[in-house]
Chain A
Amino acid sequence: MTAEDPLVAVRDLTVRFPVRRGEVEAVRGVSFRIGRGQIVAIVGESGSGKSVTARSLVGLAGEGAHVAATELAFDGIDLRAVRGRGWRAVRGRRVGFVLQDALGSLDPLRRVGAEVAEPLRAHGVVPAREVDAEVVRLLGEAGIPAPEGRARQYPHQLSGGLRQRALIASALAARPDLLIADEPTTALDATVQRQVLGLLRERVGHGTAVLLISHDLGVVAEIADHVYVMKDGLFVEDGPAARVLESPSHPYTRTLVGAALGRAARPRVTPGGSPREVLRAEGLVKEFTLPGRGAFTAVEDVSVTVRAGETLGVVGESGSGKTTLGRLLMGLLDPDAGRVLLDGRPWDGLRGHARRTARRGVQMIYQHPLSSFDPRYTARQILEEPLRAAGTAGRERAVRVARVLEHVGLSPAVLDRHARELSGGQRQRLAIARALAPEPQVIVCDEPVSALDASIQAQVLDVLADVQERLGVAYVFISHDLGVIRGLSHRVVVMKDGRVVESGETRRVLDHPAHPYTRALLDAVPRFAVRGRLRSRA
């Protein structure tokens, strides 16, 4: 691991993409090195060029990409000279790649085992008859319990954390010298995040080098040796992780550090609501039955109340029943027991037209707004649809669309664009605007910012707070992110295994947790343990 013999050496890397008129330079001359067994991180927000930089190392920068560099070497191979089939010897075998988006990165039609086996077969790593056993071994190594059964399952039958681990197992299958992990922990809750980072660290113990791509400095601080901070296609700062995080010199790095410490994402808690209850759930129970496997109780005896103009935070890890509760409140699912009252009137008593009318009072915002938009609709059509459904006349619709657009801080220029042409932040604003259009009393927000960059997160949370202040709408805010919950909620309920284990004023619950699970949740939040690290290294 000497400086003279790095595993990866990159000098003056530029990547350009042709666009309708001219070109876009996504990477504008970056240089970096990765030593054997080292963890190097590239940090930056989405659009900074960090993913493209990483993908250039395996020749997958993207369609039509022009990659140029004065040096682009992997273990002595000049990657600039590699063409077509030549890449196949590098990809998978020498460099494992874990792509962002664990949900979509496994082929949904193939068994998890077949996906993990693919690099083994492609590179003939083990004899064909040993592939199955090797797959099970790899899955187990990646920390997946009962790997034999998992290998026979399909990706949709696995939770996000398990899918992410299966992806890592697949990337590590051919025992590559370098593992590139692009946002391997985004959208995972704190506990799973920790396990995934542990897995990466363990591989490094076996001599694998890791290139970690992330927007989350908290994650990087946990494991990286060296950090490059990327902004607009350039590295603005780099150095040993501890130094960069402890004393960032570039203003942009300082912003990122601030975001990781929870400074940037400091939404306001609005003055709060009136004592009037707008939504009330009493003794909700929801069971799901599996064919031949009996019942699973997703929500068990949950009662909550939401008052006008206030935010009720719902916290818990994945699988705690948060989302099911949200759907019950929305009337998208019918409870097996208990009832939901909107403005004092129960949902389940309503059918047909009355139910649809009442539904306007409760709207929803999702984690992935893009999949909740019709891809053929423009922003205008997306916003007009709920108004049309409510029978609002044409001229009135235009006025209302303009109004909700202003509430969420979007320019009218976006109206004729399709959702996929908008940025992540703009999409979530559009989702908020759509939820506001029917003038609801309550909006159920299911992880609305967990897929967004820190600074965008702060903006969206700001919009939510603004809207609440101006319109007095109440939120049920579902999240695994305690920082976000703390910043926005007046009251909070903590869920575990379908039950509410603790509830009360946000400050009381989070500062003086009474239940051991709440304490465990608070402990699992990745800390910015920079000082601790420095001490341990000294």
Chain B
Amino acid sequence: MAGVLRMREAAAPGRSGTARGALVRLVLVRLAASFAVLWGAVTATFVLLQVMPGSTADVLLARSSVTPAIRARLVAEYGLDDPLPVQYLTYLGRIARGEFGESYVLRRPVWDEIAAQLPDTLLLVATTLLVTVVVSVLAGLLSVNRRAWVRSLFAAAESLVVALPPFWLGLLLLTVFSFTLHWFPAIGSSSPAGLVLPTVALAAGPAAVVAGVLREGLLRAMEEPFVVTARARGIGEAALRLRHVLRHALLPVTTLLGWIAGSLIGGAVIIEIVFSRQGIGRLALSAVANKDMPVVVAVVLVTAVAFVLLTITVDILTWVIDPRTRDAGR
């Protein structure tokens, strides 16, 4: 350790170049690892769909009664009677080439379907994240230097909000703000006003959780010796919180936010239904119910890719926030 310290001294200026190199390496390693994640996700999907009851041929033939000969031709065409390993490898090969095929049910290319739904979902996730961050940072900063009972009040309110089921909150918001006050539309994905209520319903829980974590982080950081030093320099309490303490508290929060954003992509389904919105979650739900294999696979892949990208984003954010992690790759 002593030796290490001295070595760092020797290597004083201009280290940022190598530190940036370390970040690039980190991202590359993450990307490589993400292929394993994607492969795992695709394989798990295949297995799950195989063990689910009902045959794919029935799905394909859902709306028509056909002769056994036609049915047999269909089965052969889709390779449904091949041995499982062969089906699996064909499936992997198609995905690797980016051929997701057509939806069994909607009879449209899967990508068209995804492309139609994704913008709505991403927009909702983005607004939800934004509201989560703004609300939790405000709540955290406002509550942290209060008396203990004020903090307990905040904590109690947060527990209550976390305990609210989002669909119930959604219905409540609809009743009050759409049906009674007519402030916001009750359905639809198109207008910005239509985004407000679903965002609130989705962000409430995460915002409450993040606010709690953030406050704990702030409280912990406020006890660090550098806080007294900063105060002794004559800076104001607001500057102390924004310049020093908040960054420390944000470290655990970034990881949490990454996870929240990832789970919202496929997990906003209940809110999408309550507010009659389009979205990936809804698409996934109907695809699973219909055993619409191509769509399910595509949704899983999109979600997995989103998680991978978010993980890398969190890594980069951590790298930006905490200089100590930059030397860790040594």
Contact = CB atoms under 8 A, between A and B. Distances in A.
Given A105-B229, A118-B230, A323-B2, A293 B11 contact: yes
Contact of A288 (B4, B18, B233): B4
B236 A296 contact: no
Interface string B17-49: 110011000000000000000000000000000
Interface string B228-266: 111111111001000110011000000000000000000
B27 to A, nearest CB: 15
A156 B324 contact: yes
A122 interface: yes
B107 interface: no
Given A88-B235, A118-B230, A156-B323, A321 B12 contact: no
Contacts of B17: 292
Given A157-B327, A318-B2, A104 B224 contact: yes
B234 A92 contact: yes
B225 interface: yes
Given A88-B236, A109-B323, A149-B14, A298 B229 contact: no
A290 B7 contact: yes
Interface string A81-112: 00001011111110111011100111111110
B201 to A, nearest CB: 35
Contacts of B234: 87-93, 119, 122-123, 174
Contacts of B2: 298, 318-324
Contacts of A286: 3
Nearest to A167: B229
A107 B230 contact: yes
A152 interface: yes
Given A91-B233, A109-B321, A321-B2, A291 B21 contact: yes
Given A104-B225, A320-B2, A323-B1, A296 B10 contact: yes
Contacts of A229: none
Contacts of A123: 234
A90 to B, nearest CB: 7
Contacts of B225: 99-101, 104-105
A157 B233 contact: no
B10 to A, nearest CB: 7
B5 A91 contact: no
Contacts of A118: 230, 233, 235, 243
- Chain B interface SS verdict (over half): helix
Interface string B295-307: 0000000000000
A149 B322 contact: no
Contact of B3 (A149, A289, A296): A296
Given A97-B229, A108-B324, A291-B22, A153 B3 contact: no
B13 A321 contact: no
B146 interface: no
Interface string A270-305: 000000000000000010111111001011000000
A498 interface: yes
A154 interface: yes
A162 interface: yes
A60 B233 CA distance: 11
Nearest to B13: A149
A60 B237 CA distance: 13
Contacts of B8: 157-159
A158 B324 CA distance: 12
A293 B10 CA distance: 10
Contact of A104 (B6, B14, B226): B226
B77 interface: no
Contacts of A171: 232-233
B19 to A, nearest CB: 8
Contacts of B6: 159, 296, 318-319
Q: How extensive is the interface on chain B, given as a class?
A: 35 or more
Nearest to B323: A154
A498 B226 contact: no
A491 interface: no
A488 interface: no
Contacts of A322: 2
B323 A159 contact: no
A101 B330 CA distance: 27
A146 B18 CA distance: 19
A224 interface: no
Given A92-B234, A108-B323, A291-B329, A296 B7 contact: yes
Interface residues of A, number: 64
Nearest to B229: A105
A156 B12 contact: no
B3 A498 contact: yes
Contacts of A92: 232-235
Given A105-B226, A149-B12, A290-B330, A122 B3 contact: no
A318 B5 contact: yes
A324 B204 CA distance: 50
A503 B142 CA distance: 60
Contacts of B321: 109
A258 to B, nearest CB: 30
B112 interface: no
B244 A110 contact: yes
A461 B16 CA distance: 44
A468 interface: no
Interface in A146-182: 146, 148-150, 152-154, 156-160, 162, 167, 170-171, 174
Interface string A332-350: 0000000000000000000
Contacts of B248: 109
Nearest to A102: B225
A58 B230 CA distance: 12
A150 B7 contact: no
Interface string A462-499: 00000000000000000000000000000000000010
A323 B3 contact: yes
Contacts of A95: 232
A119 to B, nearest CB: 4
Nearest to A85: B236
Contacts of A122: 233-236, 239
Contacts of B232: 58, 60, 91-92, 95-97, 99, 171
B18 A293 contact: yes
Q: Which 3 residue pairs across A and B have the least CB separation, nearest first?
A: A149-B13, A298-B3, A319-B6
Given A153-B13, A156-B324, A324-B2, 11 more contacts: A99-B225, A110-B244, A148-B13, A150-B12, A154-B323, A154-B324, A158-B5, A291-B18, A298-B2, A321-B2, A321-B3
13 contacts: A92-B233, A92-B234, A108-B226, A109-B244, A109-B321, A149-B12, A152-B13, A159-B5, A159-B8, A171-B233, A288-B3, A298-B3, A324-B3
